[in-house]
Structure 1
Amino acid sequence: MRKTDQPGMTEMEKHTNIDRISNLPWDVLDTILVHMPLKEAARTSILSSKWRYKWTSVSQFIIDDKCLSSCLSDKVLRWKEIMKIIHQVQSSHSGPIEKFKLAAYCHPIHSDLDQWIQFLTERGIKELILQEFDCVKHFKLPACLFSCPQLSCLELYGCVINLSPSFKGFNSLASLHLSQSSISSGTLEFLIANCPVLERLTLLNVDRSAVLKINNLNLKYLKIDSKFEDICLKNAPLLSSVDIRLKMIPRHPDQGQACNLVRVIGCLYGIKKLILSTHFLEFLAYNDVPERLPAMLDHLFTLDLREVRFDSLKDVRVSFSMLSSAPNLEELIISVSNSSGVLNTVLDFLRAQCLLDIYFNKLKVVKIRGIWGTRTEWEFIKYILAHSPVLEAMTLVKYGGERIPDSMFQQVDRASDHVKITSLTL
């Protein structure tokens, strides 16, 4: 701040002591303060009376563990400290609040959180992020939240989501993240369909939803780690990155229903990156898996398959169908599940694939981790080497025991003369 002019000070010294920061326009000061940790921004209140409440009027508030004393471990007391910050803001804030993020592990009182969210909606909140906190009982979102036309990012944890009758959609919402929350199938479908600019959707451990239906023409990124009886992605033509690790809830399949692989994955024409877990592979294997999908996955560049069971014909058939349907695949990543043994039906299937005239003409990188050293794994490795003419690198990670010796690879036909094979063990 400006020092009192002293007798005998030169004009240059007086000019040097001018408080230029305090005289900056508020939008510039706001930009400076929001880039500081909230605890540090609050400390600016001691600079002068002019700065006492400046931090309470910033447009973004991120309350995380850095705002609280490291010795404060009680979750109830941590919430009381957070409420002190919130009360200061409520009593002094003027202007809009564009972003609020709660990322401090605490035990919030629902009535406090309800009032705070109502305050945020009155201040034109655009990004509301509630991350992991202690929730014995789910927090029921206030109806006012569904009347925020400017909301662009919504991340909720431990919440009950019931749309108000007047809800017409979030016309500005680009990112939706639900974790440990409750929402019915119909409500979730309606919510997704009525976010016309939604690009990113993440669903982690969502309950009360039996069937997931995605109907959104703008969606580009989808991540699911939850339980569903069924999933439908038909109306999402722009999906380019999909990560599905869900475990399907068994149910009696509809008679005459098409193969799940064709019905769910076969419609993802624009997909570029696909990550799937073994439980979902089993779901996709229902009802006559084709050698290739009817429509090719021409844009698929990365295929990442998690916990593949090489003793399961279902897992292997689905994996090969997707591989054969991705002519431009550049990267293949596989993690292997512990095998209970070797099935002759899987070996026969792999040997039959070797006779087919199918090559991966764009495949450059292959990573296989969690190898147990079974015969079916080795047959798959040989198949990839023999059918990948531009392969540059193959990395194999074996769990336990000795790594696969180099001598074994010398006896294998390779379609690529330039492939570098790296064999490791953990």
Structure 2
Amino acid sequence: MAEMIRHTNIDRISNLPWDVLDTILVHIPLKEAVRTSILSSKWRYKWTGLSRFNIDDKCFPSYLSDKVLRWKVILKIIHQVQSNHGGPVEKFRLAAYCMPNHCDLDQWIWFLTDKGIKELILKEFDSIKRFKLPSEVFSCPQLSCLELYGCTIMLSPTFRGLNSLISLNLSHIYISSDTLESLIVNCPVLERLTLINIDHSTVFKISNLNLKYLKIDSKFEDICLKNVPLLSTVDICLRVKPRHSDQGKACNLVRVIGCLHGINKLILSSNFLEFLAYNDVPERLPAMLNHLLTLDLRDARLDSSKVVKVLLSILCSSPSLEELIISVSPLCGFSFLDFQRAECLVDLYFNNLKVVKIRGLLSTNHECEFIKFILAHSPVLETITIVTYVGEIIPNSVLLQFEPASEHVKVISLRS
């Protein structure tokens, strides 16, 4: 029995190899990892050697809401790590509402760049003025994920690119158009790009042979997508106004969307649809969007004949479409009737369309005609969901009188 008791007193965990301990500690909240320092003298500084640090709201007591005091807590953690860390730091994530001191934050970022950082995520903190991101960040050879909030980006003249960067997320960033273009084109393995509320950039130009995902919610005067053969998902909420110098240019729909031949999912929102409608919208795009499976229009002003032309042009150019989602801008109505006799619609059938969702209708005759058209031209349609904002819902009995092409279609009519 005594022999058994002696064995249970052995501290097996403390003697585990550091890579095993690191794997264990990075999977618990940082607050709990820090608490291991009270276990014994061996554990006092073990947490400071972690390869991954995630500082979020869980690191603070629930009563601590002051953003300045929160930064002081973070700074204490940073100083402990800087004093005792001996190995690499692969990931640092700051996602806690606080007010960083820019000098302290700069020094910490310099420390991380020397530690071979692979994932750097700075977001959700409060900043009265944007801090200038140290240019050393853009010389980290192993950096694969970069997510930045509330800073100014200026590239060094010696910038040669981020050859390992796969994901780039910029939010509330001050960056010039030329700098943004240079940054993107010099990330040869970049797959995911997200831009939210970008300042100081007037024109967005992109050329990247490896990019697969693009999300933009920002304000630009123009957008140019070229040399993006692998781009499969595009989500654009772009607040733009055509410039006078754009007169005589090709239709924006053809110029911007018409080149995305490999796209699978296309999400377009509000004002950007009006931007695409600038200049003459063709009945069909010059080249078909043969791989487009999902078309999602959000907050669309379908009382605009030009926007409806954009919708119909994309539909006529997407033979493989399986899912159509339309959210109509509140109280704007629907202008479809004018295009019923368009030649491109006569023989247009959605032979792969299975799911249709339309939200925000006003139950007008024009809207009913559009629904009738979709039902009559979709032979494999499985479900169509219609949500009205104002007035009575459209009864299923009425919708089924439209003679659907699909024998198995399920019609769902709701009131929001």
TM-score, normalised by the number of residues in structure 2: 0.97
- Picking from 197, 207, 210, the partner of 2:199 is 207
Distance in 2 separating the partners of 1:399 and 1:203:
31
1:275 alignment partner in structure 2: 267
Aligned equivalent of 2:149, options 157, 161, 175: 157
**Conserved in 1, the CA contact under 8 Å of 2:363 and 2:391?**
no
SS at match of 2:250: coil
Q: Structure 1: which amino acid aligns with 2:70?
A: R
Q: Structure 1, residues 49-96: CA drift from partner, whole Å, max 9, x if none?
A: 111111110000010000011101111111111111111111111100
Quote the residue 1:420 is aligned against. 410
> 1:98-133, CA deviations, whole angstroms, 9 ceiling, x for partnerless residues?
100000001111111111101111111111000111
Which of the numbers 318, 342, 356 marks the counterpart of 1:366?
356
Match of 1:87 among 79, 84, 91: 79
Unaligned regions of 5+ residues in structure 2, if any?
Answer: none
Local SS of the residue matching 1:287 = coil
Q: Which of 127, 133, 148 lines up with 1:135 in the alignment?
A: 127
Question: CA, structure 1 residues 354+235, in 2 after alignment: closer, same or farther (shift >3 Å)?
Answer: closer
- Partner Cα distance (2:64, 2:278) in 1: 52
SS of corresponding position for 1:306: strand
| Deviation of the 1:257 alpha carbon | 1.4
User: Residue 241 of structure 1 contacts residue 273 of structure 1 at CA under 8 Å; is this kept in 2?
Assistant: yes
SS of residue matched to 2:13:
coil
Residue from 178, 189, 200 that aligns with 1:186? 178
Q: Distance in 1 between matches of 2:341 and 2:242?
A: 32
Aligned to 1:6: none
Residues 143 and 340 of structure 1: CA distance in aligned 2, closer, same or farther (over 3 Å): closer
1:243 to 235, 247, 254: 235
Query: What is the correspondence of 1:38-77 to structure 2 with a 5 Å cutoff?
Result: 38-77=30-69
The 1:379–1:131 alpha-carbon spacing in structure 2 relative to 1, beyond 3 Å, is: same
Aligned pair partner of 2:365 in 352, 365, 375: 375
1:411, CA displacement in angstroms?
A: 2.0
Q: In structure 2, what residue type is equivalent to 1:222?
A: L
Amino acid at match of 2:115: R
Is the CA contact 1:310–1:377 (under 8 Å) kept in the aligned structure 2? no
Tell me the CA shift for residue 405 of structure 1.
1.2
Report the counterpart of residue 120 of structure 1 in structure 2.
112
Shift of 1:376: 2.2
Distance 1:265 1:179, change over 3 A: same
3-state SS of the aligned residue for 1:208? coil
Query: How big is the shift at 1:244?
Result: 0.1
**How far does the alpha carbon of each residue in 1:337-376 deviate from its partner, in whole angstroms, 9 at most, with x for none?**
1244565xx4221344695101000000001111122222
- CA distance, structure 2, for counterparts of residue 171 and residue 359 of structure 1: 45
| Amino acid across the alignment from 1:28 | V
Q: Which amino acid aligns with 1:141?
A: L
- Quote the residue 2:378 is aligned against: 388
Does the 8 Å contact 2:283/2:344 carry over to 1? Answer: no
Q: Which amino acid aligns with 1:358?
A: L
Number of equivalences: 416
Q: Deviations over 1:380-426 (max 9, x none)?
A: 11111111000000011111443211231132121111100011112
RMSD after superposition: 1.4
1:409 maps to what in 2?
Answer: 399
The aligned residue for residue 336 of structure 1 is: 328
> Counterpart of 2:204 in structure 1: which amino acid?
L
CA shift for structure 1 position 22: 1.2
Percent of aligned pairs with the same amino acid: 73
Aligned residue number for residue 254 of structure 2: 262
Deviations 1:10-39 (A, max 9, x none): 323322332221111111110100011000
Report what 2:282 is aligned to. Answer: 290
Which consecutive unaligned segments of at least 5 residues does structure 1 have? 1-8
1:252-302 deviation digits (Å, cap 9, x = unpaired): 143431111111111111100100012111111112111111111111111
| 2:363–2:390 CA contact under 8 A, matched in 1 | no
* TM-score, with length taken from structure 1: 0.95
Distance 1:236 1:358, change over 3 A: same
Q: Which amino acid is 2:301 matched to?
A: R
Counterpart of 1:5? none
